Structure 1
């Protein structure tokens, strides 16, 4: 046996270790940090983490470690965090902290409420964050996550939440957390479409998160490592051969050294090296290691003993051999792990197919004997699938899907259900689960619901289409109708309106209206929604009234509620009125009584949007909070109406000028729901653009990638149109406006309501361009005036000042007032009356847009010679810009103050404040002349020149000659720049 040290020395990582030690020190000083440690397999990430953990322990920090494991295409939800929480639970120092956050007990298998709590995903995330924060209050904490490239989606989402919102930020008004997070992953495993890639790209943008890449060791460092691993001197040729083959990889070097002494020749590849070491074990130890390889990277002692079937003494002897050869490492809580994942992969790949299948079957049976608990379902499904016991794999995958749903992991639920669907056709009918009503179509519909809950609307559509394709010609008409109206509802969610209307019409035709049934009621309710979206309002109203009577006769309260909500929307903007919102509250109560969360959330959203459209913004927020709480309890936070509520909540915060709260809420929403796109990014992007953040445009363009998304297209259109206007690119602003309106218009050519806002934004740039050309006498100004007239007509039409539909509420009318003011500016110059109307129109609560309109008013007042009023308006704009942190707006108002001479003193004076002689003195003063030199130039005495200088300083309120020159330049009293430095 080679006499290598069990723990290899750390060589060539002094710089990285010093950096991580600094991270630990900062964490102990309440400056929390996170490090994403990357490197190729075997480069030394685990060894560096072990050393760092040792330093943390020596300095009085608690070290919590979680491992991710490879379970193929399906994951075990929250596995690394379950391991970490288990360590917290086993530590008496954290007993009180654990008791204060009972929600995390669901991950430990002991705290789930009866029937599960599918709505607790966000609450679970907050609970884990609170638990770790509380633990860090007890003592400094180092959180280690290994092999992040194998993490399941729920673990990735939770890590994103913790780093962006949960544990790196200080509590309100308090110090930072005493916590450091280090997460490792294999960089060579991250292919182009690896799901960890976008997570890493997002995390490294956070100020407290950094990436640390482990480079391969230099040849000299590998040489030092090899020589340190062997007690006896090694031949130079042997060392040189190992260094050449290791290519800077510490693990390769160790394996080559360990295998070389007794192998009779070095293998050409790492897998061969690993297997040579493995084959040097006694047969019993080989059997144990093979069995452990099938279990995965880590295996419990009791489970391994049952699987291998050896007496305890033989098992312990075999394990001692495997540990001595450094293939396995003894861990805490009676577990064994492969020292490196590559070792496990090599041993596993060397198993014969029959041997591999048999061992997988053994582990599946043993896990099943533990009572078939849901938390083992994913592992059982994996082992049954690999053992080719497809009926059992099917049953276990169904159980795993149920477990994923119970812990709020819709993405994992979807993957398990898709595995079920893959197995369904290959498992004989008599071996499938016998649950009532369980068939391929209903399973596909359930998978589509999971996709919708996970925020993947397009996947939900694809699955429902698959369900439709699976319905035969002789299928039950009720089921056929249900599939079609479900497909119609999913299509509405991805804004495929014409197709939704077609499928809802087909659903309605499949079943008779008399006598009415529940299926017909819901088909009718979906058809009403689809018909309204394509402009078939009369048909929608007729079907809604008919279905409402049927729902009341049958006592189907949730269908009655859904139809009442639709009827309120069909009646000319009545949700904007107190009477309309009272009707919506009645509908919401019916849905609550029926226990139908989606309909109840629809009612709550309609009440909230009605408040917004009527200009009652503060009243909007409590309804949104209630709706999101209902969604949380129902496990529907990623479904359409809660996403709409999130966007509306952010929009209200943005509109009211609560920008920091808007940005922080958006960050938390995006961390909890990473696939929510424009719903959680939109208003935060408006804030970023208004504050002059350079990444705002890039982030807006990213929303346009992938399948068409109506809201993401709208958000990107607003940001990119406004950005073009802010930089004065009229052509780009108009082009973006037109492309966005075209993309958002429905199949009938009906333009979206947001057209009025887009037109007003583009008109800003057009008016700027027309005014500049008009001042220079360029005839091209006429072309831009024509464009302005075209855009204002678009705004008038969208705001409802035509036959296209009912007028918009206060927001739409305010944007129209701004569009009108910009149009007048483009045609004939700024008009105070038009801008006064725009300022008054935004008085419903839009702080930023009212300030922008007030800036336009200040410009118009300046042109009209009403400089005192202009100065007052400019001061109000600057105060708002300062409060919001809107740097571009502050720069524009400052420029107007300078060029229009609207400063505190210049508002009461004009160019006549200085006499002609004082102006001559000021001109020479700007050239840096002394009083004597000024006297010589003007043929006056130096004393007289001094008196003039003193008068100038007094009139300009300046304390020095230099300040007087600066004030004069700022207020336009010096028309030409000085020709020499002052």
Structure 2
């Protein structure tokens, strides 16, 4: 077939998909950043559609940049598609100033990788890349295209998750510049087997409001026939067209390849795609086939110089062969003097057809050529891949170690761990004299490496509450490496094991190892490890972190971590300092600590790491506790905008406000947190809100069930009760006590006993949670306050309301929790009224009412008003729910005065009078001023004016 007989593939049968993507581009050009995940089977037309969209975008003035993922097995090259994108942008003068101002660009491109170990370095990298793309899009509209996402390395997947869930599609504040950016990412749907690592990421991304999914289905037969006819300048026989349509099965690439192979000298048409592709390859000259086979071993694309050296051909022969392959559209020209296979399936077919010896020899050639160009970190993963496939195990081992170090510097822990695991697999098969030495390790290198892998894994497991597994791996790490001679590896293994041990309640083990490791860290001058161990010790001894000794250790740890430049450990110290203030019953003191810590996290690029997220939640919790609910809601909204998809860390206390204010959607939102929460915080918030919502509805069965579900979800391998048990139990006890009160004296003794037994079980849960951990340390003022409430509710359930017990609960919440104190005052007022102490009951209820009104806690306000109305005054008359000032306003309302006139007579402003009028209408349940006066007369709250009074 002559080259002129094959024309460029037209876009057929994709009108709807094209319109949808061009609509996304239009919205992006208008400042609304969007992303579309384009799915489809191999060859269905994803690349062709994206090419069409990219062409239209470029013609409209959008800068289009493509990054491609490549198949290098389980490891891959960290951040490859994003590196490719930034490399193209770096060559564009329009973006040079922005790129120069962002260290993230330099770091991904390799020149600025920080060799210092920093496990949270990739968080700074991610936030830097998000900011970089936002600023680039401010210079010119951008379209980023990521191809073959199913081959993406884990770090690229993690960065994509970050950009879409927390970065690029979101504007941090209303004044931020518009983000004229669209991102299109394609992947093979038929490659995503059940355990493919891309599957959970896709499930997560498609739920984001700025992300869409577009699935390219096979083309209808009529559209395939149109495509087949359009591909040839000369018409094909109809029988041939029908045969191609039948065999293509709606796959545009299959159809193109069948058309391209039509008329070739072959014995019949191929039954499989590999055979089909190889037919076209075999039509080339022997030299061109040799070049294709050599290029296939390199990967999807290869540079001209590297291909020439690997093929071992003179320049003229190579150029002639390449011209032939490009002319037959088997290879396409890429940027920077590279050649790429027109489709990944073509490369796979050629690679699979290689003889085993031929494949091994070519891999070895590429590995040696890359090594000869310098053992640069950027080629380490590629060299490791080629050495493994060529069965050169010593060199594969060395290259894998280099690749692990490079991944660590880039902030790609998943790739680092996989490379290290490869090293462990290879180590026994490599003779000792061929093994590389591990710099800085004085003992047996394989033991040090194995320990490093295990304590790294243990730390990751701790962050996802896999405590038993973390303890097992940290134990193995500590056993693999001796304490003498002293080494940083042993110190960090020990520090990790201390944390794992303490999480499982093995405090004696943790203390013993911590003191020993601290001494070693001091001798080595390892300030970061010293800081980490001091934090653990602050929690483990001398009364814990709330004690003066604990506070002193946390302060030292904070300064040591900062001096060592170890941001994650500094964040751990700051988190513990803030939590200790809250636990000590001083929520007000938390706020400046938290403000400083979060600002520090922002400056160091660690806002998305676990401890700053915890401090974000604590900041909102303190605002909620102190009754600053509007500030809590606004701060939560800001946090969601700046760091979306952070779940309960940014929304938890806002949900507490919602349920307290009677928001009917609060329980639904909490259930969504429980159903989708992969983090402990989501389960905590969901459990609290759902239990409280059921209790507020007066449903004891549902409340207890919600509590049980929450405790199951929050349980860990240690077997200890979660600290929140006391709060959940106290919440459940309220409707349980009310149900018991209803049954008492009603004759159903069996049902009454069921609920009193339930109350006893609940109070035992509360006592076990609050009264002390395994080391005998009780919870702080908050836990003791919830226990006091639980005890008062239990007394109400089993013997009736006790004013003294409720007065104790009210006093216990005096440390600063305004809402819970008001709720206890309501229960106390009911107990006082039941005891005939009506005046005290009304006064107690009025105090609670002021708090409820200020907070906007409508359900609590309604219950208090109902109690106040129903409680007789000492003289036997109903007590007014109105304040003295409101009664004055009501009397003037009865005289027909306007707000301005009321203000003049009472020496207040008209606006203040209007507020009093609104409060009166709300308290009396009136829709108008006239109705309020009528209700007041009817209830005896005001007396009729004497005749002539005006």
TM-score range, shorter chain: 0.7 to 0.9
Deviations 1:66-95 (A, max 9, x none): 111111010211111111111221111112
Gap change, CA 1:873 and 1:469, over 3 Å in 2: closer
Task: Give the aligned partner of residue 385 of structure 1.
Answer: 388
Gap change, CA 1:312 and 1:219, over 3 Å in 2: same
Which residue of 495, 512, 527 maps to 1:527?
A: 512
Q: In 2, distance between residues paired with 1:95 and 1:124?
A: 19
Which residue of 423, 432, 439 maps to 2:445?
A: 439
Deviations 1:220-241 (A, max 9, x none): 1111111111122222221111
Gap change, CA 1:806 and 1:741, over 3 Å in 2: same
Task: Give the aligned partner of residue 457 of structure 2.
Answer: 451
Task: Give the aligned partner of residue 44 of structure 1.
Answer: 45
Task: Give the aligned partner of residue 304 of structure 1.
Answer: 307
Question: Given the alignment of the two structures, is residue 812 of structure 1 paired with residue 783 of structure 2, yes or no?
Answer: yes
Gap change, CA 1:771 and 1:31, over 3 Å in 2: farther
Task: Give the aligned partner of residue 650 of structure 1.
Answer: 617
CA contact (8 A) 2:261 2:279 kept: yes
CA contact (8 A) 1:697 1:723 kept: no
Gap change, CA 1:611 and 1:301, over 3 Å in 2: same
SS at 2:113's partner residue? coil
CA contact (8 A) 1:617 1:652 kept: no
Taking the TM superposition and a 5 Å limit, the aligned residue runs for 1:502-901 are 504=509, 526-527=511-512, 569=539, 573=543, 575-577=545-547, 580-586=550-556, 588-589=558-559, 603-617=573-587, 619-620=589-590, 623=593, 643-644=610-611, 646-657=613-624, 658-659=632-633, 661-662=635-636, 665=639, 692=666, 694-701=668-675, 703=677, 718=688, 721-722=691-692, 725=695, 729-731=699-701, 733-734=703-704, 737=707, 751-771=721-741, 773=743, 778-779=748-749, 780-800=751-771, 805-823=776-794, 826-827=797-798, 838=809, 841-842=812-813, 844-846=815-817, 849=820, 873=848, 876-877=851-852, 880-881=855-856, 890=858
CA contact (8 A) 1:494 1:710 kept: no
Gap change, CA 1:748 and 1:237, over 3 Å in 2: closer
TM-score of the aligned structures, taking structure 2 as reference length: 0.79
Which residue of 329, 351, 356 maps to 1:353?
A: 356
Kindly state the Cα deviation for residue 247 of structure 1 after the two structures are TM-superposed. 1.2
SS at 2:57's partner residue? helix
Kindly state the Cα deviation for residue 613 of structure 1 after the two structures are TM-superposed. 1.1
Q: In 2, distance between residues paired with 1:419 and 1:256?
A: 41
Deviations 1:697-738 (A, max 9, x none): 35425558xxxx987876675466446546655345435646
Gap change, CA 1:384 and 1:557, over 3 Å in 2: closer
Question: Given the alignment of the two structures, is residue 428 of structure 1 paired with residue 398 of structure 2, yes or no?
Answer: no
Gap change, CA 1:229 and 1:547, over 3 Å in 2: closer
CA contact (8 A) 1:461 1:487 kept: no
Q: In 1, distance between residues paired with 2:422 and 2:934?
A: 74
Taking the TM superposition and a 5 Å limit, the aligned residue runs for 1:249-398 are 249-262=251-264, 263-398=266-401
Gap change, CA 1:572 and 1:67, over 3 Å in 2: same
Gap change, CA 1:257 and 1:567, over 3 Å in 2: closer
Q: Which moved more, 1:227-236 or 1:449-458?
A: 449-458
Task: Give the aligned partner of residue 898 of structure 2.
Answer: none
SS at 1:143's partner residue? strand
CA contact (8 A) 2:455 2:473 kept: no
Gap change, CA 1:311 and 1:867, over 3 Å in 2: farther
Q: In 1, distance between residues paired with 2:650 and 2:450?
A: 28
Q: In 2, distance between residues paired with 1:689 and 1:627?
A: 29
Q: In 1, distance between residues paired with 2:488 and 2:124?
A: 36
CA contact (8 A) 1:785 1:826 kept: yes
Kindly state the Cα deviation for residue 142 of structure 1 after the two structures are TM-superposed. 1.5
Task: Give the aligned partner of residue 413 of structure 1.
Answer: 416
Gap change, CA 1:378 and 1:847, over 3 Å in 2: farther
Kindly state the Cα deviation for residue 140 of structure 1 after the two structures are TM-superposed. 1.8
Q: In 2, distance between residues paired with 1:61 and 1:597?
A: 39
TM-score of the aligned structures, taking structure 1 as reference length: 0.77
Gap change, CA 1:87 and 1:267, over 3 Å in 2: same
Kindly state the Cα deviation for residue 265 of structure 1 after the two structures are TM-superposed. 2.0
Q: Which moved more, 1:578-587 or 1:432-441?
A: 578-587
Task: Give the aligned partner of residue 937 of structure 1.
Answer: none
How many residue pairs end up in the alignment?
Answer: 868
Gap change, CA 1:289 and 1:561, over 3 Å in 2: closer
Q: In 2, distance between residues paired with 1:555 and 1:402?
A: 23
Kindly state the Cα deviation for residue 867 of structure 1 after the two structures are TM-superposed. 7.4
Gap change, CA 1:362 and 1:456, over 3 Å in 2: farther
Q: In 1, distance between residues paired with 2:475 and 2:559?
A: 33
SS at 2:184's partner residue? strand
Gap change, CA 1:62 and 1:837, over 3 Å in 2: farther
Q: In 1, distance between residues paired with 2:170 and 2:138?
A: 13
Kindly state the Cα deviation for residue 856 of structure 1 after the two structures are TM-superposed. 5.8
Q: In 1, distance between residues paired with 2:588 and 2:696?
A: 29
SS at 1:171's partner residue? coil
Deviations 1:52-77 (A, max 9, x none): 11121122211122111111010211
Deviations 1:811-841 (A, max 9, x none): 2123224324543554577778766765664
Q: In 1, distance between residues paired with 2:794 and 2:200?
A: 43
Taking the TM superposition and a 5 Å limit, the aligned residue runs for 1:68-147 are 68-113=69-114, 115=116, 119-147=120-148
Q: In 2, distance between residues paired with 1:305 and 1:88?
A: 28
Gap change, CA 1:587 and 1:95, over 3 Å in 2: closer
CA contact (8 A) 1:140 1:179 kept: yes
Gap change, CA 1:408 and 1:573, over 3 Å in 2: same
Gaps of 5+ in 2: 625-631, 871-878, 888-920, 942-950
Kindly state the Cα deviation for residue 251 of structure 1 after the two structures are TM-superposed. 0.9
Gap change, CA 1:464 and 1:452, over 3 Å in 2: closer
Q: In 1, distance between residues paired with 2:774 and 2:124?
A: 48
Gap change, CA 1:768 and 1:349, over 3 Å in 2: farther
SS at 1:697's partner residue? helix
Q: In 2, distance between residues paired with 1:118 and 1:235?
A: 64
Q: In 1, distance between residues paired with 2:181 and 2:858?
A: 39
Gap change, CA 1:342 and 1:482, over 3 Å in 2: closer
Q: In 2, distance between residues paired with 1:447 and 1:631?
A: 27
Kindly state the Cα deviation for residue 250 of structure 1 after the two structures are TM-superposed. 0.9
Gap change, CA 1:855 and 1:176, over 3 Å in 2: farther
Gap change, CA 1:671 and 1:822, over 3 Å in 2: same
Q: Which moved more, 1:136-145 or 1:399-408?
A: 136-145
Deviations 1:122-143 (A, max 9, x none): 2211111111111111122222
Deviations 1:510-536 (A, max 9, x none): xxxxxxxxxxxxxxx65366xxxxxxx
Gap change, CA 1:574 and 1:440, over 3 Å in 2: closer
Task: Give the aligned partner of residue 15 of structure 1.
Answer: 16
C-alpha RMSD of the superposition? 4.7
CA contact (8 A) 2:796 2:802 kept: yes
Q: In 2, distance between residues paired with 1:960 and 1:879?
A: 23
Kindly state the Cα deviation for residue 107 of structure 1 after the two structures are TM-superposed. 0.6
CA contact (8 A) 1:464 1:486 kept: yes
Gap change, CA 1:875 and 1:274, over 3 Å in 2: farther
Task: Give the aligned partner of residue 518 of structure 1.
Answer: none
